[in-house]
Amino acid sequence: MSFLWRSLAAAFGFSRPPRILQVGHPLLRVPSRTVSREEMFSEEVKSTISKMNSVFTSPLHRPVGLAAPQIGSPLRIIAFKLPDQPRTSLPTVLINPVIEMIEAEEKWTRQYESCESMQYYNAIVRRPNRLQVRGIRQDGSCVKLDAKGFLARILHHEIDHLDGMVFADRMEPKSIRHDNYIGKFELPVD
């Protein structure tokens, strides 16, 4: 741990979050493993969720969503937190999420999108504006979410990670750009 990081950790009471795997790492291309009922409360699942939570509370990251493979875990777990939620609040965690499409692909919207695993780049990606997701909460209870707008986009993006996909696999051709060009070179979106 560097001197700067130790100093920040001591002053503000946080620990270093896990490293976020970047595009090119093979774990990001492998479908994640379903969490069985028996392992729902295992140390592996608890540790994975704890590491994911630390990414959301770290001053180094500002994610709206994260999938377990992005921190090196092969489990089907995602976490999300909308930007209007307090910085210190923990994200919502879903285990074994499954998407139920509501909209036809022709109705999907085009928006710029980025990813913690493809830092400093964004591209236009078509995603559903509305979908439903079934999953399991950390306490083992089942949940069904009716997601719209930005939340639907986040959930679709994170569940793609669980299936070995990154947003570059869905991006519109020639729409990728570096974050330095946000607000300077904009392609039309929906």
Handedness of CA 32, 35, 41, 43 (dihedral sign): negative
Q: DSSP for 53-85?
A: HHHHH-TT---SEEEGGGGT--B-EEEE--TTS
- Which residue from 31, 107, 93 is spatially nearest to 65, judged by alpha carbons? 93
186 assigned to active site: no
Task: Given the residues 39, 158, 172, 186, select the one marked as catalytic.
Answer: 158
Amino acid of residue 159:
I
- Cα–Cα distance for residue pair 177/45, rounded to 1 Å: 35
DSSP letter string, 82-117: -TTS-TTSPPEEEEEEEEEE-S-GGG-EEEEEE-GG
The vertex-162 CA angle with 158 and 166, nearest 5°, equals 65
**From CA 7, how far away is CA 28, in angstroms rounded?**
32
CB 171 within 8 A of CB 127: no
Active-site residue set: 158
